[in-house]
Amino acid sequence: MKDLLRITDLTGDDLTLLLELAADSQGTPGTAPSLLTHQIVPMYFAEPSTRTRLSTAAAVTRLGGTPVTVGPDELQLRRGETIADTARVMGSYAAAIVIRTFADADVADLAAAAPVPVINALTDGHHPLQAVADLLTISEHFGHLLGHRIAYLGDPGNVARSLMEAAALAGMDIALAVPPGYSPAEEALAFATTEAERRGGSVLVTHDVAEAVKGASVVYTDVWMSMGDPEQERGRRMKALAPYQVNEHRMDYARDDAVFMHCLPAHRGQEVTADVLDGGRSLAFRQAANRLPATQAVLYALLTDRLAGR
Protein backbone atom coordinates (compact mmCIF):
# COMPACT_ATOMS: atom_id res chain seq x y z
CA MET A 1 0.00 0.00 0.00
CA LYS A 2 1.61 3.23 -1.18
CA ASP A 3 -0.88 5.96 -0.21
CA LEU A 4 -3.57 6.71 2.38
CA LEU A 5 -6.33 8.62 0.62
CA ARG A 6 -9.34 7.30 2.54
CA ILE A 7 -10.13 4.80 5.26
CA THR A 8 -11.42 2.33 2.68
CA ASP A 9 -7.84 1.92 1.46
CA LEU A 10 -7.17 0.03 4.71
CA THR A 11 -7.91 -3.51 5.79
CA GLY A 12 -9.01 -4.26 9.33
CA ASP A 13 -5.50 -5.46 10.10
CA ASP A 14 -4.04 -2.25 8.68
CA LEU A 15 -6.22 -0.17 10.98
CA THR A 16 -5.27 -2.30 13.98
CA LEU A 17 -1.59 -1.84 13.14
CA LEU A 18 -1.96 1.95 12.85
CA LEU A 19 -3.67 2.14 16.23
CA GLU A 20 -0.93 0.02 17.81
CA LEU A 21 1.81 2.14 16.26
CA ALA A 22 0.06 5.33 17.35
CA ALA A 23 -0.35 4.09 20.91
CA ASP A 24 3.33 3.10 21.02
CA SER A 25 4.44 6.52 19.76
CA GLN A 26 2.53 8.26 22.56
CA GLY A 27 4.85 6.83 25.17
CA THR A 28 8.02 6.99 23.09
CA PRO A 29 7.77 9.99 20.76
CA GLY A 30 11.30 9.43 19.49
CA THR A 31 10.42 6.12 17.78
CA ALA A 32 12.34 5.83 14.46
CA PRO A 33 13.93 9.29 14.83
CA SER A 34 16.21 8.67 11.85
CA LEU A 35 13.59 7.38 9.39
CA LEU A 36 13.41 10.74 7.59
CA THR A 37 16.89 12.07 8.32
CA HIS A 38 17.97 14.61 5.66
CA GLN A 39 14.60 14.31 3.92
CA ILE A 40 11.66 16.66 3.50
CA VAL A 41 7.90 16.11 3.50
CA PRO A 42 6.00 18.81 1.58
CA MET A 43 2.65 19.68 3.17
CA TYR A 44 0.29 21.32 0.70
CA PHE A 45 -2.58 23.26 2.29
CA ALA A 46 -5.25 24.80 0.07
CA GLU A 47 -7.09 26.13 3.12
CA PRO A 48 -6.28 27.26 6.68
CA SER A 49 -5.38 24.60 9.21
CA THR A 50 -4.44 24.35 12.88
CA ARG A 51 -4.44 20.73 14.07
CA THR A 52 -3.56 19.12 10.75
CA ARG A 53 -0.73 21.51 9.93
CA LEU A 54 0.92 21.40 13.34
CA SER A 55 0.42 17.70 14.06
CA THR A 56 1.83 16.73 10.67
CA ALA A 57 4.83 19.03 11.07
CA ALA A 58 5.49 17.55 14.51
CA ALA A 59 5.12 13.98 13.22
CA VAL A 60 7.61 14.57 10.40
CA THR A 61 10.05 16.17 12.83
CA ARG A 62 9.74 13.28 15.29
CA LEU A 63 10.70 10.91 12.48
CA GLY A 64 13.79 12.99 11.77
CA GLY A 65 12.55 14.89 8.71
CA THR A 66 11.88 18.48 7.76
CA PRO A 67 8.29 19.53 7.03
CA VAL A 68 7.88 22.12 4.27
CA THR A 69 4.51 23.89 4.14
CA VAL A 70 3.32 25.25 0.80
CA GLY A 71 0.05 26.74 -0.41
CA PRO A 72 -1.65 27.52 -3.71
CA ASP A 73 0.20 30.81 -4.14
CA GLU A 74 3.60 29.22 -3.64
CA LEU A 75 3.48 26.59 -6.41
CA GLN A 76 2.99 26.81 -10.17
CA LEU A 77 -0.46 25.19 -10.19
CA ARG A 78 -2.17 28.54 -10.69
CA ARG A 79 0.05 29.21 -13.68
CA GLY A 80 -1.09 26.08 -15.46
CA GLU A 81 1.29 23.38 -14.28
CA THR A 82 -0.65 20.15 -13.95
CA ILE A 83 -1.12 18.22 -10.73
CA ALA A 84 0.66 15.26 -12.30
CA ASP A 85 3.72 17.33 -13.20
CA THR A 86 3.76 18.87 -9.75
CA ALA A 87 3.57 15.42 -8.17
CA ARG A 88 6.50 14.10 -10.20
CA VAL A 89 8.66 17.07 -9.28
CA MET A 90 7.76 17.10 -5.58
CA GLY A 91 8.26 13.34 -5.42
CA SER A 92 11.80 13.68 -6.74
CA TYR A 93 12.72 15.82 -3.73
CA ALA A 94 10.60 14.35 -0.95
CA ALA A 95 10.05 11.19 1.07
CA ALA A 96 6.26 11.68 1.15
CA ILE A 97 3.62 14.28 0.33
CA VAL A 98 0.76 15.43 2.57
CA ILE A 99 -2.11 17.29 0.95
CA ARG A 100 -5.15 19.10 2.33
CA THR A 101 -7.43 20.37 -0.39
CA PHE A 102 -11.04 20.25 -1.59
CA ALA A 103 -11.54 17.77 -4.44
CA ASP A 104 -10.81 14.08 -3.87
CA ALA A 105 -10.00 13.78 -7.57
CA ASP A 106 -7.05 16.16 -7.15
CA VAL A 107 -5.61 14.00 -4.38
CA ALA A 108 -6.10 10.86 -6.46
CA ASP A 109 -4.33 12.50 -9.43
CA LEU A 110 -1.45 13.57 -7.20
CA ALA A 111 -1.08 10.08 -5.74
CA ALA A 112 -1.22 8.43 -9.17
CA ALA A 113 1.69 10.51 -10.44
CA ALA A 114 3.82 10.85 -7.30
CA PRO A 115 6.59 8.26 -6.83
CA VAL A 116 6.35 8.62 -3.04
CA PRO A 117 3.53 8.04 -0.52
CA VAL A 118 0.70 10.58 -0.54
CA ILE A 119 -1.48 11.18 2.53
CA ASN A 120 -4.87 12.82 2.37
CA ALA A 121 -4.92 15.32 5.24
CA LEU A 122 -8.54 16.31 4.48
CA THR A 123 -10.74 16.71 1.43
CA ASP A 124 -14.41 17.41 0.90
CA GLY A 125 -14.99 13.67 0.93
CA HIS A 126 -12.64 12.18 3.51
CA HIS A 127 -10.60 12.80 6.66
CA PRO A 128 -8.71 9.54 7.35
CA LEU A 129 -6.13 10.98 9.77
CA GLN A 130 -8.93 12.29 11.99
CA ALA A 131 -10.62 8.89 12.06
CA VAL A 132 -7.43 7.14 13.15
CA ALA A 133 -6.98 9.71 15.93
CA ASP A 134 -10.63 9.28 16.94
CA LEU A 135 -10.39 5.52 17.37
CA LEU A 136 -7.08 5.92 19.18
CA THR A 137 -8.80 8.28 21.61
CA ILE A 138 -11.71 5.91 22.22
CA SER A 139 -9.38 2.94 22.72
CA GLU A 140 -7.17 4.96 25.05
CA HIS A 141 -10.14 6.07 27.17
CA PHE A 142 -12.11 2.83 27.41
CA GLY A 143 -9.26 0.34 26.99
CA HIS A 144 -10.80 -1.30 23.91
CA LEU A 145 -13.07 -0.62 20.93
CA LEU A 146 -15.29 -3.68 20.67
CA GLY A 147 -18.65 -3.38 22.35
CA HIS A 148 -18.76 0.41 22.12
CA ARG A 149 -21.30 2.45 20.18
CA ILE A 150 -20.60 5.81 18.56
CA ALA A 151 -23.52 8.17 18.01
CA TYR A 152 -22.81 10.88 15.43
CA LEU A 153 -25.24 13.82 15.32
CA GLY A 154 -25.51 16.33 12.48
CA ASP A 155 -24.21 16.62 8.93
CA PRO A 156 -22.71 13.31 7.69
CA GLY A 157 -19.82 14.93 5.82
CA ASN A 158 -16.16 14.00 5.47
CA VAL A 159 -15.47 13.50 9.18
CA ALA A 160 -18.58 11.36 9.70
CA ARG A 161 -17.82 9.34 6.57
CA SER A 162 -14.28 8.42 7.64
CA LEU A 163 -15.39 7.80 11.22
CA MET A 164 -18.17 5.47 10.04
CA GLU A 165 -15.78 3.51 7.83
CA ALA A 166 -13.14 3.23 10.57
CA ALA A 167 -15.67 2.17 13.21
CA ALA A 168 -16.94 -0.52 10.85
CA LEU A 169 -13.42 -1.83 10.23
CA ALA A 170 -12.95 -2.01 13.99
CA GLY A 171 -16.18 -3.99 14.49
CA MET A 172 -17.87 -1.20 16.45
CA ASP A 173 -21.48 -0.03 16.39
CA ILE A 174 -22.12 3.40 14.92
CA ALA A 175 -25.38 5.31 14.62
CA LEU A 176 -25.79 8.51 12.63
CA ALA A 177 -28.66 10.86 13.47
CA VAL A 178 -29.08 13.18 10.50
CA PRO A 179 -31.76 15.57 9.26
CA PRO A 180 -33.98 14.57 6.33
CA GLY A 181 -32.07 15.19 3.11
CA TYR A 182 -28.67 14.76 4.77
CA SER A 183 -28.05 11.08 4.12
CA PRO A 184 -24.45 9.79 4.18
CA ALA A 185 -22.77 8.96 0.88
CA GLU A 186 -24.09 5.68 -0.48
CA GLU A 187 -20.64 4.27 -1.21
CA ALA A 188 -19.43 4.93 2.33
CA LEU A 189 -22.61 3.55 3.87
CA ALA A 190 -22.41 0.37 1.79
CA PHE A 191 -18.76 -0.19 2.73
CA ALA A 192 -19.40 0.47 6.43
CA THR A 193 -22.47 -1.76 6.57
CA THR A 194 -20.68 -4.68 4.93
CA GLU A 195 -17.51 -4.38 7.02
CA ALA A 196 -19.40 -3.90 10.28
CA GLU A 197 -21.53 -7.00 9.69
CA ARG A 198 -18.41 -9.04 8.94
CA ARG A 199 -16.87 -8.00 12.25
CA GLY A 200 -19.91 -8.13 14.52
CA GLY A 201 -20.65 -4.41 14.50
CA SER A 202 -23.55 -2.44 13.07
CA VAL A 203 -24.43 0.76 11.23
CA LEU A 204 -27.65 2.71 11.78
CA VAL A 205 -28.83 5.86 10.01
CA THR A 206 -31.82 7.60 11.54
CA HIS A 207 -33.47 11.00 11.89
CA ASP A 208 -34.17 10.27 15.59
CA VAL A 209 -31.52 11.61 17.97
CA ALA A 210 -32.72 9.55 20.93
CA GLU A 211 -32.57 6.35 18.87
CA ALA A 212 -28.99 7.07 17.82
CA VAL A 213 -27.69 8.14 21.21
CA LYS A 214 -29.40 5.49 23.36
CA GLY A 215 -26.71 3.23 24.83
CA ALA A 216 -23.86 5.11 23.13
CA SER A 217 -20.40 5.25 24.67
CA VAL A 218 -19.41 8.18 22.46
CA VAL A 219 -21.48 11.13 21.25
CA TYR A 220 -19.77 12.91 18.36
CA THR A 221 -20.53 15.96 16.25
CA ASP A 222 -18.88 18.35 13.79
CA VAL A 223 -19.40 21.93 12.64
CA TRP A 224 -22.55 22.77 10.69
CA MET A 225 -20.72 24.97 8.18
CA SER A 226 -17.42 23.72 6.78
CA MET A 227 -14.81 25.67 4.84
CA GLY A 228 -15.94 25.77 1.25
CA ASP A 229 -19.68 25.57 2.02
CA PRO A 230 -21.56 28.37 0.21
CA GLU A 231 -22.55 31.14 2.61
CA GLN A 232 -26.04 31.31 1.13
CA GLU A 233 -26.64 27.83 2.56
CA ARG A 234 -26.11 29.00 6.16
CA GLY A 235 -29.72 29.75 7.05
CA ARG A 236 -31.05 26.50 5.63
CA ARG A 237 -28.36 24.39 7.27
CA MET A 238 -28.73 26.04 10.66
CA LYS A 239 -32.47 25.41 10.66
CA ALA A 240 -32.15 21.79 9.56
CA LEU A 241 -29.34 20.92 11.97
CA ALA A 242 -30.56 22.77 15.08
CA PRO A 243 -32.46 19.71 16.44
CA TYR A 244 -29.17 17.75 16.32
CA GLN A 245 -27.20 19.99 18.67
CA VAL A 246 -25.29 18.07 21.34
CA ASN A 247 -26.26 19.36 24.79
CA GLU A 248 -26.60 17.89 28.26
CA HIS A 249 -30.11 16.69 27.46
CA ARG A 250 -28.81 14.74 24.46
CA MET A 251 -25.94 13.33 26.50
CA ASP A 252 -28.45 12.00 29.03
CA TYR A 253 -29.69 9.54 26.39
CA ALA A 254 -26.23 7.92 26.30
CA ARG A 255 -24.52 5.64 28.80
CA ASP A 256 -23.66 7.08 32.19
CA ASP A 257 -19.96 6.87 31.31
CA ALA A 258 -20.39 8.25 27.79
CA VAL A 259 -17.91 10.78 26.46
CA PHE A 260 -18.24 13.63 23.98
CA MET A 261 -16.02 13.99 20.92
CA HIS A 262 -15.54 16.72 18.32
CA CYS A 263 -12.85 17.05 15.65
CA LEU A 264 -12.58 20.85 16.19
CA PRO A 265 -12.78 23.71 15.55
CA ALA A 266 -16.07 23.95 17.45
CA HIS A 267 -18.76 26.61 17.54
CA ARG A 268 -20.21 26.74 21.03
CA GLY A 269 -23.93 27.32 20.93
CA GLN A 270 -24.32 25.78 17.48
CA GLU A 271 -23.47 22.09 17.07
CA VAL A 272 -22.51 21.76 20.77
CA THR A 273 -23.13 23.71 23.94
CA ALA A 274 -20.24 25.11 25.95
CA ASP A 275 -21.08 23.03 29.02
CA VAL A 276 -20.63 19.81 27.02
CA LEU A 277 -17.55 20.82 25.03
CA ASP A 278 -15.76 22.21 28.08
CA GLY A 279 -17.19 19.72 30.56
CA GLY A 280 -15.67 16.71 32.25
CA ARG A 281 -16.98 14.22 29.67
CA SER A 282 -15.38 15.95 26.70
CA LEU A 283 -12.43 14.29 24.94
CA ALA A 284 -12.27 16.87 22.16
CA PHE A 285 -8.89 18.24 23.14
CA ARG A 286 -7.49 14.76 23.75
CA GLN A 287 -8.56 13.97 20.19
CA ALA A 288 -6.66 17.01 18.99
CA ALA A 289 -3.52 15.87 20.82
CA ASN A 290 -3.89 12.40 19.34
CA ARG A 291 -3.70 13.74 15.81
CA LEU A 292 0.09 13.75 16.31
CA PRO A 293 0.65 10.05 17.13
CA ALA A 294 -1.97 9.06 14.56
CA THR A 295 -0.18 10.97 11.79
CA GLN A 296 3.19 9.70 12.95
CA ALA A 297 1.88 6.14 12.75
CA VAL A 298 0.55 6.62 9.23
CA LEU A 299 3.81 8.12 8.00
CA TYR A 300 5.88 5.38 9.61
CA ALA A 301 3.68 2.58 8.29
CA LEU A 302 3.67 3.88 4.72
CA LEU A 303 7.38 4.66 4.62
CA THR A 304 8.31 1.22 5.98
CA ASP A 305 5.82 -0.62 3.78
CA ARG A 306 3.84 -2.03 6.71
CA LEU A 307 0.32 -1.68 5.26
CA ALA A 308 -1.20 -4.31 3.00
CA GLY A 309 -4.05 -2.19 1.62
CA ARG A 310 -6.89 -3.49 -0.51
Would you please indicate which residues are annotated as catalytic (active-site) residues?
A: 100, 127, 130, 222, 263, 291
**Among 243, 287, 244, CA closest to 264:** 287
111: amino acid identity, one letter: A
d(CA 260, CA 246): 9
188 Ramachandran zone, left/alpha/beta (phi>0; psi -120 to 50): alpha
Cis amide prior to 265 (ω within 30 degrees): yes
For the packed helices 12-27 and 128-142, what is the interaxial angle rounded to 10 degrees?
70
Count other C-beta atoms under 10 Å from residue 105's C-beta.
Answer: 12
d(CA 247, CA 158): 22
User: C-alpha distances in angstroms, 105 versus 112, 126, 196?
Assistant: 10, 11, 27
Number of H helices, E strands in the chain: 12, 9
CA dihedral 239, 243, 249, 252 (to 10 degrees): -150
Q: Cβ-count burial of 231 within 10 angstroms (0-12 exposed, 13-18 middle, 19+ buried)?
A: exposed
Q: Which long-range contacts (CB under 8 A, 24 or more apart) does 289-292 make?
A: 290/22, 290/26, 290/133, 290/136, 290/137, 290/140, 291/51, 291/52, 291/55, 291/129, 291/130, 291/133, 292/55, 292/58, 292/59, 292/62
Residues in the chain: 310
